[in-house]
Amino acid sequence: MNKTQRTKNFALCCMVLLLSTLSQAQEHVNGQLWMDTDGKHINAHGGNILKYGNTYYWYGENRPYNGGSTEAGIAVYSSANLKSWKNEGVALATSMKAGHDIERGCIMERPKVLYNKKTKKFVMLFHLELKGRGYEAARVGFAVSDSPTGPFQFLRSQRIHANQWPFDMDEEDIKAAKQTDASQWKEWWNDAWRKEVNKGMYLWRDMKGGQMSRDMTVYVDDDGKAYHITSSQENLTLLVSELTDDYLDFTGKYNMVAPGGQNEAPCIFKHKGTYWLICSGCTGWSPNEARMFSAKSIWGPWKQHPTPFVGTATGYNNMPANKTFGAQGTFIYQMNGKPVFMADIWNPRHLSQSLHLWLPIEFDKEGTPVIRWVDKW
């Protein structure tokens, strides 16, 4: 081999090595850590993806390695191809001011960012728990930014729909709800208690101070109207609420979905005119069987279906479908017109190390969503 050939071979080897490193960097294996372009696990949990221009933005909970509260805030990553993710830092930072709603040490969960075409602003909604108060505040937070990577400016946090009844409850329904009394039920889960929950017992209990809002998502419909879907009433009942045109407030129009059904982690998408809502049950960080609902209108009526998950997580301890492969959903986004289910495999000991799981949503012959395990992206 002469010198020129040796140089050529060396260049070729370098090229092959570079290409294989690049393709490795871009590959995400479900059930394993997902690295960003700095080689660090993507610390964006319970969040969503927003496409703006030709760039995808991934927002999520930036979690510390130890502890369950929020230290930094809400993270944002960017990508041109949904594979190589660049850490863009903290989009919404916690406050160092004592007593501030988002004081460092509060709990910020399930952030979702929307782009408002009319105002040209990026709007973030998230679940907020006040510092030192566990999960009792149950508020939704609003923040806004001119740029997708922030810095987002915190606007306020609140309970929702104080002194407002769901639009689909008539006078008789309201009268029945007003006759309930949550304080008298020392024992839950019996038929008589369930009946009262269906009547709106917790709605009535929280009427004055506003309804609780914990796990949440947002959805922008084809007409640009946005909706907030949240786990309310002690995580018993979902509320669907319409947002104002600027996405910075609620219009006051809302209704209940599956009262007493204990649905959390709501994820929604529309396919051929049908809205599909995929939720989890309420078992904290531990996985459970996903629930699925469909409706022809965002206001229901919602029909319940069996879980869409089938098979086992061959790449993650063979976790079964009835445990959602060990994960809990966070968002459904459309990748080239095809819905993808985004989920977290929580690691409650080290929340920052929680894994990401993205699975394509397929449809059976009847057009019902089916979610199977795939190894990688």
Stretch that binds ligand GAL, among 182-190, 197-205, 240-248, 278-286 (CB under 6 A): 278-286
Q: Of these, 224, 284, 306, 311, which contacts ligand GAL (CB under 6 A)? A: 284
**Does the footprint of ligand GAL cover residue 356 (CB under 6 A)?**
no
Q: What 8-state DSSP symbol labels residue 69?
A: S
**Does the footprint of ligand GAL cover residue 110 (CB under 6 A)?**
yes
Q: Quick one: which of 154, 45, 152, 145 has its CA closest to 101?
A: 154
How many C-alpha atoms does 365 have within 13 Å on its Cβ side? 0
Dihedral through CA 58, CA 64, CA 65, CA 66, nearest 10? -150
**Does the footprint of ligand GAL cover residue 88 (CB under 6 A)?**
no
> Going by DSSP bridges, is the β-strand pair 226-232/55-62 parallel, antiparallel, or unpaired?
unpaired
Total of residues contacting ligand GAL (CB under 6 A): 10
Site for ligand GAL in 126-155 (CB under 6 A): none
Q: Of these, 109, 196, 206, 234, which contacts ligand GAL (CB under 6 A)? A: 109
Closest approach, Cβ 283 to ligand GAL, in A, equals: 7
Alpha helix stretches (DSSP H) within the chain = 3-25, 171-178, 191-199, 201-205
Taking the least distance from each CB to ligand GAL, the nearer of 94 and 288 is 288
Closest approach, Cβ 170 to ligand GAL, in A, equals: 33
Closest approach, Cβ 107 to ligand GAL, in A, equals: 8
**Does the footprint of ligand GAL cover residue 36 (CB under 6 A)?**
no
* 28 torsion bin: left (phi>0), alpha (psi -120 to 50), beta (else): beta
**Does the footprint of ligand GAL cover residue 265 (CB under 6 A)?**
yes
**Does the footprint of ligand GAL cover residue 264 (CB under 6 A)?**
yes
**Residue 198 to residue 177: CA distance in whole angstroms:** 9
Stretch that binds ligand GAL, among 87-95, 250-258, 282-290, 303-311 (CB under 6 A): 282-290
Q: What 8-state DSSP symbol labels residue 138?
A: -
Residue identified by tokens 């105002």 is 119
Whether 241 contacts 250, CB under 8 Å: yes
Whether 278 contacts 267, CB under 8 Å: yes
Site for ligand GAL in 300-339 (CB under 6 A): 328
Residues lying near ligand GAL in the complex (CB under 6 A): 46, 109-110, 215, 264-265, 282, 284-285, 328
